[in-house]
Structure 1
Amino acid sequence: MNRSTAAVLATVLTCLLVTVALPLSFPSAGPTGFDRSADDRLHAALDGHHGVYRVLVTPSDPWVVLPILLAAALWYLRSDRWRAGFLVVAPELAVLVNTAALKPMWHRHLKDYLAYPSGHTVQFVAVATALVLVAATRRVRAILATLSVVLLAAVAVGMVGVGYHYPTDILGGTATAVGLVTAQWATVRGRFAANPPAGFSARRP
């Protein structure tokens, strides 16, 4: 097993472990101690700023995420249909698995909906992960990864502030999305290596 394969496997297994282990900390109803502590600190820092919370959630809204995903897929369609196809299929498959299987499995309710893993988080992180994985160079991957982490932090603050999710829902959603998309990428990445986008060498980092 080479180093790259080992890293991918470690990422998928770690994400799986986090997704499965977090629900073990959930009480029969309501938030965990960590959830309550994070919520109290957040509201103490931004008390009375509900509008700010809603703005911070915006990057995870479908009307923002899906056009970015479509634009990226169209960009890659000119030079590499495998990457374009991956961008279209992988994130949405992750969302489908989360909605149809994982949420009902854990059955964690918040208000009138199933909250774990967070669907907003899964969609946002799945798209971000796919974009990072298909990027042609290390520099682009680093830029996209950094931007994604910053935006995810903002989204997390917004969702907790508005009351959409507990912090543990967001942690679980992040692990779920990264794990599912990385697992899909591992099955097809040989195609990417064999078909670099136009203008890039297959050997270029």
Structure 2
Amino acid sequence: MTVRRVLVFVAVLGALAALLLGLLVVPRAPGSLDTWATDRTGELSERLLDVLVLPTEPYLVIPAIALIAGAAWYLRRREDVILAVAAPVLAVALNTWVLKPIFGRWKDGGLAYPSGHTVSLAAVLVVLMLLARPKVLTAIAAILLLGCATIGLVGLGYHYLTDVAGGVCFATAVVTGLRAVLIPRRVPAPSTG
């Protein structure tokens, strides 16, 4: 299986997961999983939760995008520069203007599913996992950072756990789908014979 096919498979799987999860949770009151997560994280100190949610804030996400794009630019990897900038922007725009209004899940006066905080952070982290090396260490760091942000988002009451899960699935779908599009196609060598 080619890298492009794997990326397309992951993109389709992520999009389907976000869609199915949204269809399952949006029309109902928060389920037992959402309630359990809210109860557990709500017991933590507000100061700790504020720190945990910091990686989702634009004043940290935007410089992270700039650093990744700058490194790719320095390495003269044009497709990686495009991915680093376009993937998070596209994911956030689609989430904000298409998915949230379609699903219409409200929490405290704002549309909540999928979590926009999570989409922005997860998109940057998936870009980083695709571009950085070593892959395993990058993936572990990304998972830990996303786990901490999840605790903060749920604990502060910004989102339900399922909003965060939907955001991760959607961001992964957008980034891997765009990466599949940006992989340079091999030009067949002219026939010598």
Q: Name the counterpart of 1:58.
A: 54
User: CA shift at 1:29, angstroms?
Assistant: 5.4
**Pairing of 1:17-96 with structure 2 (within 5 A):** 17-26=16-25, 28=27, 30-44=29-43, 46=44, 49-78=45-74, 79-96=76-93
- The amino acid across from 1:21 in the alignment is L
Bigger relative CO (Cα 8 Å, ≥ 6 apart): 2
* Cα contact 1:19–1:172 (8 A) shared by 2: yes
Stretches (4+) displaced over 6 A: none
Q: Identity of counterpart residues, as a percentage? A: 34
Identify the range of structure 1 (80-89 vs 162-171) with the bigger mean alpha-carbon deviation. 80-89
Helix, strand or coil at the partner of 1:117: coil
1:69-116 deviations in whole A, cap 9, x for unaligned?
Answer: 102211211222221122111111111111110000100000111000
Following the alignment from structure 1 to structure 2, what is the Cα–Cα distance between the partners of residues 9 and 86?
15
Q: Name the counterpart of 2:105.
A: 108
Q: Could you tell me which of 156, 172, 181 is aligned with 1:178?
A: 172
User: CA shift at 1:173, angstroms?
Assistant: 0.2
Q: Could you tell me which of 144, 153, 161 is aligned with 1:167?
A: 161
- The amino acid across from 1:173 in the alignment is G
Cα root mean square deviation, aligned: 1.9
TM-score by length of 2: 0.89
Alignment length, in residue pairs? 186
User: CA shift at 1:124, angstroms?
Assistant: 0.3
TM-score by length of 1: 0.84
